[in-house]
């Protein structure tokens, strides 16, 4: 990637140019660990982990359950802690789409 201001070659994941210090436009958004609102079974912790690490949600749920059973309940406590600590996904608001009706004053 090239800096739009000085034209020098910079890293693809850079936020600012290392040569001139100018902010680079079009920075790719980074993934965040959030509890999903749609498709969750209990609190969305496993689904959020699966989306963050790009894994199958069934695999994450199975590993979490096996961990909870093998560790004598520590996995259940870890799930509750994750439920409290990991933020919930923001609500998706509907777009304000015009209806196509034109109002004229006659």
**Residues 31-89 pLDDT 10s:** 778 887 777 788 888 888 888 888 898 998 999 889 989 988 888 898 889 889 988 87
pLDDT of residue 105: 65
- Sequence-distant (6+) residues with CB within 8 A of 28 are 13
Threshold 0.85, pTM exceeds = no
Does residue 96 surpass a pLDDT of 70?
Answer: no
Does residue 27 surpass a pLDDT of 50?
Answer: no
Average pLDDT over residues 15-31: 69
CB 3 within 8 A of CB 17: yes
Rounded to whole angstroms, the Cα distance separating 82 from 86 reads 5
Buried residues in 14-39 as b, exposed as e (16+ CB within 10 A): eeebeeeeeebeeeeeeeeebbbeee
């Amino acid at each position: 990637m090239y800096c739009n201001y000085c034209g020098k070659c910079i890293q693809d994941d850079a936020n600012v140019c290392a040569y001139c210090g100018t902010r680079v436009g079009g920075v790719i958004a980074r993934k965040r660990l959030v509890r999903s609102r749609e498709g969750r079974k209990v609190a969305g912790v496993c689904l959020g982990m699966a989306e963050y690490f790009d894994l199958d949600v069934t695999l994450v749920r199975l590993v979490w359950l096996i961990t909870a059973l093998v560790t004598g309940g520590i996995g259940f406590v870890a799930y509750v802690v994750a439920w409290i600590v990991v933020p919930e996904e923001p609500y998706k608001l509907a777009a304000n789409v015009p209806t196509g009706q034109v109002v004229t004053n006659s």
